[in-house]
Copies of this chain bind each other. A is one copy, B any other.
Amino acid sequence: MRVIGILGGMGPQATLDLYQKVLQFTPATRDQDHLQVLIWSDPHIPDRTAAILYGGEDPSYALCAGTARLVKGGAECIGIPCNTAHYYLDAIRRAAAGVPVLDMIELTARSARTQLDADAVVAITATRATLATGLYNKALTLHGLKAMVPSPAEQEIIDDLIFGPRGVKAGFVDENNCRRFQAVCSRLFSSGAEAVLAACTELPLLAHAASSVLPIIDPTSVLAQALVNFGLADMAAGRGG
Which residues on A are within 8 Å of B, measured CB to CB? 1, 9-13, 16, 19-20, 23-24, 28-45, 47, 69, 72-74, 163, 165, 169-171
Contacts and interface: CB of A to CB of B under 8 A. Distances in A.
A43 B39 contact: no
A237 B41 CA distance: 22
B42 A36 contact: yes
A203 to B, nearest CB: 15
Nearest to A40: B38
Closest 9 CB pairs of A and B: A34-B43, A39-B39, A73-B73, A11-B31, A31-B43, A37-B41, A29-B170, A12-B34, A12-B23
Contacts of A19: 16, 19, 39, 41
Nearest to A6: B39
Given A34-B43, A36-B41, A165 B29 contact: yes
Give how many copies assemble into the complex: 2
A172 to B, nearest CB: 10
A43 B34 CA distance: 6
Contacts of A169: 29-31
Contact of A43 (B13, B32, B42): B32
A170 B28 contact: yes
A136 B227 CA distance: 38
Nearest to A37: B41
Given A24-B171, A69-B73, A72-B73, 6 more contacts: A16-B20, A23-B171, A28-B171, A35-B43, A39-B41, A73-B73
A130 to B, nearest CB: 15
Contacts of A165: 29
A30 B73 contact: no
A34 B9 contact: yes
Greatest chain B CB density within 10 A among A11, A34, A165, A170 is at A34
Contacts of A12: 23, 31, 34, 37
A158 B170 CA distance: 36
Nearest to A43: B34
A1 B47 CA distance: 18
A179 B72 CA distance: 44
